[in-house]
Structure 1
Amino acid sequence: MDRNSAIGLFLMAALLLIYLQFAPKPTPESADPAKTTAAAKASANTPGAAPAAPDSVALARQLGSFAAAAQGTAQTMELKNDLLTVSFSSKGGQVQAVRLHKFKTFFGQPLDIFDAQSAKIDTRFRTTDGRQVKLSDLYFRAEPQGTEALRFVADVAGGQIEQRYSLAPGSYEVGYQLRFNGLNQTLAQEALTFTFVDNVRQTEQDRKQNRNHTAINRYLVSGDHTVLFEASESPEEITVEEPLKWAAHKHNFFIAGIIADNAFSSGQLNSSVDLNDSTYLKTLSSTLKIPVTDVQQGKANFRFYFGPNSLDLLKTVAPEFDRNVNLGWGLFRWVNRFVVLPVFHFLEQFISSYGLIIVLLVVLIKLVTWPLTYKTYESQAKMKVLKPELDAIKAKYPDDQVKQQQETMKLNQSMGVNPLSGCVPTLLTLPILFAMFQFFPNAIELRQEPFLWARDLSTYDEFLKLPFELPFLGSHISMFTVLMTLSTLAMTYQSNQSNPSAMQGPMKFYSYLMPLIFFFVLNSFAAGLTWYYLVSNLVTMAQQAITRRFVDDDKVRAKLEANKVKNKDKKPSGFSARLADAMKAAQEREAQAKGAPRVARTDSDAADLDEEPGTGAADISPKKPRKTRRS
């Protein structure tokens, strides 16, 4: 590993660490009024506590002409297909629970993406006499419409409130219609408020990862897409004053969202975390405004999505709904969506083991990037061959860094060597590197897929459980991370042994230190990711061994000598010429600062800069006009 490759490696490592730790994690507030209120409501509904009997006088005072529907007996109804079961309560006529049939929690329990204890959906509206009424205040009459639809009706104020739900076979989408019939004189001309409060439960092994990948996404009619900061542990809030198309509560690998056929007129999204709460990971809350004319004119049509956070499914649900799958941003998302995922899905048609699919993915990527890798090895061979000349320059000018750089640049130019060619190919592979860091923890395809000793490739493999927690490491040891670290150290040793003089002193020490740092960073990352990099390291070492058979030092020396003859009379141009000017100017400034005589420019120097000999045009220091003495 030569100096340029090392610089590329360290730059890549620094960028990666910055990328992983970019977002600050502020300390959560000690008291959140919204959470306190939610807790108070939860305790008020604690099982075993006898509900207060409704007072007809109080109900009439509170609900007015809607009070007649505020008494009754709650019933539970269901819509069910092969993918999910959706439960409804006749009190409010709203979704009460959703269970996904084809998924379990990491702990083997049924996966309820929504349940009556942790989440609640409600809608409130204002009457012309100023009263606030919630649908949860009212009892609805349930009317099944076959096996795929359900209708709830409440007779109120001389009219009806109607809610319709539908669930088609093989679908994660629940159709929803809200109608206010014959209530134009009773309903105030003010938007209805739809609320969805969601206390998210842990469903994955890694509680922290589960929480940090939980957030609210929303999409505006104007085309803007925004997500609340996922990893935040302090309250987050977004207020939207323009129409929204959809809002979605993302639970790492699953989504509970609502999409409007028209639009919500505005909304507010909130998330908060209580790190002392062992029951819930995060509280998500969406408050969306429904135009009153929509419910009066039969246009309040919506769809709920309760299902997996899968790109192939989400891209057909609504515009940009697939943004809920966090595949990174910009170029990294493009690489994952149009390169990694298609290859992944192609391979899974023929191979059932996702661990083997990852191996083939590594091999394919290495084959595609082999030309870049070969360029790196070729650059290393050139620098190795030039090592004696470079050492001679350092020995000749031990205390003059500028002169060392000038002479090194002249040597590189004469030999046709670009010193950046060793690290640029490495940096060009960065998009794939960063894309993988987003792909493996967020790909539902890997969720609960076992391989070797790993139970789940989407989270860390807990090979060794520690009886205590260590800083930066946690309470476990990931064997894939251990093997990846050892393979990285072996690859570094192999590279250093092949060119012992290229990496010396502190640089050599840091080349071995970086893999150890990454061991602590990646110990809690997805096993699929560390398995990927373990295989990648092994393939890279094989590539190095094969490539060395084609890159012969004697042939490289002969090629460089041929370049030297070819470039003998060639003048620097473009960036090289500008760099030479800058170095000469720096040398002159340094000489002037030390009080040394000005460096004389030769005619050959002037020729290098396309100047006329003896004109002094290369002097970058501004000259004052000479004063003429009057006689």
Structure 2
Amino acid sequence: MEEKKFDVNSLIGFLLIGAILIWVMYNNKAEEASQPEQTSTEQVVSQEEPSETTTAVPADTVEVAADSAALAKYQSALGPFAYSAGLPSAKDNVTKLENDLLEIHVSNKGGQVVFARLKNFVTYDSVPVYLVKDGNASFNLQLNTTDNRTLNTKDLFFEPQLSKSGENTVLSMRLKSAPDQYLEYRYVLKPDDYLIDFSIRTEGLGQILNTTSPVQLRWQQKGIRHNKSIEYENRYTRLTYMSDGSVSKLSQTGSDDEQEEELKWISFRQHFFSTILASEAPFEKAQLVSNDLVEEESPEAKYTKEYVAEIPLEFQGSELNKVMDWYYGPTDFKVLKQYEDYDFAESVPFGWGIFGFINKYVFTPLYDFLSSMLPYGIAIIVMTILVRIALSPVTYKSYLSQAKMKVLRPEITEINEKYKDNAMKRQQETMKLYGKAGVNPMSGCIPALLQLPIFYALFMFFPTAFMLRQKPFLWAEDLSSYDTIAELPFTIPFYGDHVSLFPILASVAIFFYMRMTTGQQQMMQQPSQEGMPDMQGMMKIMIYISPLLMLFFFNNYASGLSLYYFVSNLITIVIMLVIKNYILDEDKIHAQIQENKKKPKKENKFQRRMREMMEQAEQQKKK
């Protein structure tokens, strides 16, 4: 039997192999530890795990080539852009761009923005404000090739290249058919800016794309809910656009579509936040669509409206070159007016005509000034006081007219009794009395009409004033939304599932205000004639109906608006009491009217014409 001996050579061999393996493993770990984290300025692709404050970006990698046959089939479907499928970037990863205001993610797939978060704002329930998230938006170019293919960029993979240009962050997303032939999306994010420079251009694709027909751009987005009441938020969520220098909107409810030309910008507005696509050279035409997604008030509803913009982009010779801008930010007049080149401030829904003018140049600057020194609720009260003081001369004129009519009431009653069977004569004598006394029965209505622009302008101002958003006052948590003092276990139609206190206070104030004004009007009102409606009875009914309507209508409106109407009616009541008890003297008014009656009254052309017409009608009646 052979004796086993210790093999020194085998031992040395094993030790050398072990040393080599340890050396290889050590060097691999050292290389991984020393490798910098995404420091390349040529390509930085974010693959971090989603946190509670960021959107969940798909982490799965799109396997383009499971085998050679699958790769060949996939590349055949891509036609001239098969080259992109073989690049390392053919994965569903994202590139992150951010500054102090905005964070966006741009996906390799489609080269489009798949995530947009505003860093300085949260929703009513303290969730970050997202404008793009969870696939609610899509940006696509439909490309027609010379070999009769139709390709959609949202399905194709772009190659990202991230770099710095001074303080700006530049992201180039290229869909390649060859190293020097590509379609490029270029994003430029500046510090402290909500506006992103965005351009689309082609390089060397003149022989690949059909340049005789335009590229169809399709931008689609659903508005993400941010407010406590989705119905209230949806009321101010509109597709807005500037065409030929004027701002227009699609319908507030239901579905609406328009084909427009020469568009400077298109805004997908979500009440207090907007996503705007603007172009340096106006879009020649666009098909715009808006679909209302809100059927009823619901705490589970996530989206308000769905918007679509389809825009044809024309080639310039053999290449495509379109310079645009994206705005992701608040619908705040102070912020939007910084972008004067685009007139973004016109997208704020201040109202049309004189109402928008008053809000833009009177109430917005006034409230900005007051709120810079006072708490927001106190600023509303102070602004209300200033508005009522400014309108006090109008209130005085209205009350003076009512007082004059009250003084003349005995004489008017006498005329009505004397000519109760002759309506025409009764009207003639009444007008003659007004003329002699120097009283215009319409002068009480004119001051009320003058206040209507102020009333409607403020009605539009408070629900759209961004500075009121999430500003508390007393029991109201948010002056831009409704206040709640009690939650109801059921929903009352047209009222809601909660009780708001400010609308109740405003309704009580308007009830007493209407009692005062209606009582004064009843004193000067002529008795109702046979066959004519009972105006006094209708006015009594309105005393109760108007406050009730306000109570229901404003229960879901901005508490700042209800606060304004409450304070405004209180101040108006005080002003009227002061005018009645300390300024106007009915005895002096009566004496002045009697003096006016003694003076010869010269008729103007209109009065003479009216008198002649009534006399002719009287003669015709006698015949």
Report the Cα distance in structure 1 between the residues aligned to 2:242 and 2:421, rounded to whole angstroms.
61
CA contact (8 A) 2:61 2:91 kept: no
Amino acid paired to 1:334: F
Q: Deviations over 1:49-89 (max 9, x none)?
A: 99786643433333212112135222221111111111111
Deviation at 1:226, TM superposition (A): 2.3
Residue 346 in structure 1 maps to residue 366 in structure 2: no
Amino acid paired to 1:529: L
SS in structure 2 of the partner of residue 376 of structure 1: helix
Residue 537 in structure 1 maps to residue 569 in structure 2: yes
Task: Map residues 190-269 of structure 1 onto 2, 5 A cutoff.
Answer: 190-220=213-243, 222-230=244-252, 232-233=253-254, 235-240=255-260, 242-269=261-288
CA contact (8 A) 1:459 1:524 kept: yes
Q: Residue 152 of structure 1 aligns with which residue? A: 173
Deviation at 1:506, TM superposition (A): 3.7
Residue 332 in structure 1 maps to residue 355 in structure 2: yes
SS in structure 1 of the partner of residue 113 of structure 2: strand
SS in structure 2 of the partner of residue 485 of structure 1: helix
Residue 516 in structure 1 maps to residue 548 in structure 2: yes
Name which of 303, 308, 312 aligns with 1:285.
Answer: 308
| 1:98/1:46 CA distance change after superposition, 3 Å | closer
Q: Residue 329 of structure 2 aligns with which residue? A: 307
Task: Map residues 575-594 of structure 1 onto 2, 5 A cutoff.
Answer: 575-589=606-620, 591=621
SS in structure 1 of the partner of residue 238 of structure 2: strand
CA contact (8 A) 1:192 1:289 kept: yes
Task: Map residues 356-505 of structure 1 onto 2, 5 A cutoff.
Answer: 356-495=378-517, 501-502=523-524, 504-505=536-537
Amino acid paired to 1:380: Q
Structure with higher Rg: it is 2
Q: Deviations over 1:76-103 (max 9, x none)?
A: 2111111111111122222111100111
Name which of 594, 604, 613 aligns with 1:561.
Answer: 594
TM-score of the aligned structures, taking structure 1 as reference length? 0.81
| 1:475/1:116 CA distance change after superposition, 3 Å | closer
Amino acid paired to 1:88: V
Q: Residue 139 of structure 1 aligns with which residue? A: 157
Q: Deviations over 1:35-56 (max 9, x none)?
A: xxxxxxxxxx998999786643
Deviation at 1:224, TM superposition (A): 4.2
Q: Gaps spanning 5+ residues in structure 2: where?
A: 1-55, 526-535
CA contact (8 A) 2:371 2:379 kept: yes
Report the Cα distance in structure 1 between the residues aligned to 2:598 and 2:349, rounded to whole angstroms.
54
Deviation at 1:512, TM superposition (A): 3.5
SS in structure 2 of the partner of residue 460 of structure 1: coil
Q: Deviations over 1:352-379 (max 9, x none)?
A: x221111111111112212111101111
Q: Residue 161 of structure 1 aligns with which residue? A: 183
Task: Map residues 19-30 of structure 1 onto 2, 5 A cutoff.
Answer: none
SS in structure 1 of the partner of residue 523 of structure 2: coil
Report the Cα distance in structure 2 between the residues aligned to 1:219 and 1:498, rounded to whole angstroms.
48
SS in structure 2 of the partner of residue 300 of structure 1: strand
Q: Deviations over 1:542-587 (max 9, x none)?
A: 11122121100111111111111123xx342222222222322333
User: Comparing 274-283 with 85-94, which one deviates more in the overlay?
Assistant: 274-283
User: Comparing 275-284 with 87-96, which one deviates more in the overlay?
Assistant: 275-284
Report the Cα distance in structure 2 between the residues aligned to 1:155 and 1:523, rounded to whole angstroms.
56
Q: Deviations over 1:448-482 (max 9, x none)?
A: 11111111111222222222222222222221111
Report the Cα distance in structure 1 between the residues aligned to 2:317 and 2:338, rounded to whole angstroms.
25
Q: Deviations over 1:197-255 (max 9, x none)?
A: 112121111211212222212223x334321112x12x211123x33222110111111
Deviation at 1:499, TM superposition (A): 7.7
Report the Cα distance in structure 2 between the residues aligned to 1:249 and 1:138, rounded to whole angstroms.
25
Report the Cα distance in structure 2 between the residues aligned to 1:199 and 1:407, rounded to whole angstroms.
66
Deviation at 1:383, TM superposition (A): 1.1
Report the Cα distance in structure 2 between the residues aligned to 1:588 and 1:53, rounded to whole angstroms.
98
CA contact (8 A) 1:178 1:295 kept: no
Amino acid paired to 1:56: L
User: Size of the alignment, in residue pairs?
Assistant: 540
Q: Residue 342 of structure 2 aligns with which residue? A: 319
| 1:131/1:200 CA distance change after superposition, 3 Å | same
Report the Cα distance in structure 1 between the residues aligned to 2:123 and 2:557, rounded to whole angstroms.
19
CA contact (8 A) 1:63 1:132 kept: no
Deviation at 1:403, TM superposition (A): 2.0
Report the Cα distance in structure 1 between the residues aligned to 2:317 and 2:463, rounded to whole angstroms.
40
User: Comparing 287-296 with 517-526, which one deviates more in the overlay?
Assistant: 287-296
CA contact (8 A) 1:264 1:291 kept: no
| 1:101/1:63 CA distance change after superposition, 3 Å | same
SS in structure 2 of the partner of residue 383 of structure 1: helix
Q: Residue 355 of structure 1 aligns with which residue? A: 377
Residue 99 in structure 1 maps to residue 117 in structure 2: yes
Report the Cα distance in structure 1 between the residues aligned to 2:209 and 2:137, rounded to whole angstroms.
27
Q: Residue 31 of structure 2 aligns with which residue? A: none
| 1:226/1:69 CA distance change after superposition, 3 Å | same
CA contact (8 A) 1:265 1:291 kept: no
Report the Cα distance in structure 2 between the residues aligned to 1:478 and 1:454, rounded to whole angstroms.
9
Q: Deviations over 1:410-461 (max 9, x none)?
A: 1111111111111110111100111111111111111111111111111222
Report the Cα distance in structure 1 between the residues aligned to 2:278 and 2:318, rounded to whole angstroms.
15
Amino acid paired to 2:247: H
% same residue: 33
SS in structure 1 of the partner of residue 75 of structure 2: helix
| 1:137/1:69 CA distance change after superposition, 3 Å | farther
CA contact (8 A) 2:463 2:557 kept: yes
Report the Cα distance in structure 1 between the residues aligned to 2:609 and 2:119, rounded to whole angstroms.
67
Report the Cα distance in structure 2 between the residues aligned to 1:254 and 1:300, rounded to whole angstroms.
25
Report the Cα distance in structure 2 between the residues aligned to 1:185 and 1:250, rounded to whole angstroms.
39
CA contact (8 A) 1:294 1:300 kept: no
| 1:497/1:423 CA distance change after superposition, 3 Å | closer
Considering Cα pairs closer than 8 Å and 6+ residues apart, tell me whether 1 or 2 has the greater RCO: 1
CA contact (8 A) 2:399 2:444 kept: yes
Report the Cα distance in structure 1 between the residues aligned to 2:343 and 2:619, rounded to whole angstroms.
59
CA contact (8 A) 2:75 2:85 kept: no
